[in-house]
Amino acid sequence: MPHDFPAILGDVQDRLARQDFGDARIADYIPALATVPDDRFAMTLRLVDGREYAVGDADIPFSIQSISKVFALVLALRSCGDDLWQAVRREPSGSAFNSLIQIEQEDGIPRNPFINAGAIRVCDLIASRFANPDRSVAEFLGQLCGNREIRIDNEVYLSEDEHGNRNRAIAYLLKSFGKLDNPVEDVVRAYFKQCSVAMTCREMARAALFLANRGTGTDGEPVLSPLENARINALMLTCGMYDGVGDFAFSVGIPAKSGVGGGIIGIIPGEFSVCVWSPKLDQRGNSAAGITALEMLMGAIGRSVF
């Protein structure tokens, strides 16, 4: 039986407006993010048949932050193949996304590509293979969503650069283990710039559609093979929501990736991609309202990947 997605999304938005998310706070350790109104909300659903539904502030750009790590990983996988997995592992971390402890304990090989250490190593691989690594992820996202004007928010980038000493520490620690091929500052700059990409909820859902469509993008062109695509989805399911991934799998049950800008992308393979944006974060750095919205959506349609 077909779902009435406009009614479902409208109901999710109405129910969220009546909820109190308590201690949820906007990310303020990146000062440029602290200026975003914390009452923003958007949700966009993109079906594999091309239909699209949206509610809220779906056409207002936001900082995608760690959602970019999925697309950087795809670029690296396309250029490195399975050699990529010699550089980063595929296990959940169980630690904060910006932890240095595991790097020290595990000889400089990051636990997965979605914690900061893993994403910085992926950026390093991109820097070795792309002529313009500072813009490669932004350009790739522009191709995927059909908007070649996707941009890096320079204010956010400068804020990340000024306040990014912990990420520099991660990069220098990787370098000390011989696990970074390029100069630290070059890699960190590319990493800050990919995290500073600004996109709308609608664009983000379109960019992620290939993950729901066996590796085929909105333009009908292959992005990944079906097997590679399935592996990216597996990593999102097990590693995509920081150290809250177990609770998210339990309550929502789909591959997803979050960012501290308040965005989350999610996938039902063979059916749709979804992006939700609400800037206030829970204690693990995930959008509090975003998680609740996805839980409501999956409950309404009676679906998960399980």
Task: State the Cα–Cα distance between residues 121 and 66, nearest whole angstrom.
Answer: 14
Task: State the Cα–Cα distance between residues 61 and 42, nearest whole angstrom.
Answer: 10
- Under DSSP, the state recorded for 225 is -
Q: Please give the structure tokens belonging to residue 240.
A: 């995509």
| From 53, 55, 66, 88, the catalytic residue | 66
| From 12, 36, 223, 260, the catalytic residue | 260
Question: Cβ distance 126 to 75 under 8 Å?
Answer: yes
Coil vs helix vs strand at 137:
helix
69 part of the active site = yes
Task: State the Cα–Cα distance between residues 202 and 53, nearest whole angstrom.
Answer: 9
Question: Cβ distance 243 to 258 under 8 Å?
Answer: no
193 part of the active site = no
Q: ∠ CA(94), CA(96), CA(100), 5° rounding? A: 105
Other CB atoms within a 10 A radius of the CB of residue 185 amount to 12
For helices 184-195 and 136-145, the axis angle rounded to 10 degrees is 30
172 part of the active site = no
Other CB atoms within a 10 A radius of the CB of residue 271 amount to 16
Measure Cα distances from 258 to 42, 78, 181 in Å: 14, 22, 27
66 part of the active site = yes
Handedness of CA 73, 76, 81, 85 (dihedral sign): negative
> Which residues sit opposite 281 in a β-bridge?
25, 287
Active site residues: 66, 69, 191, 242, 260
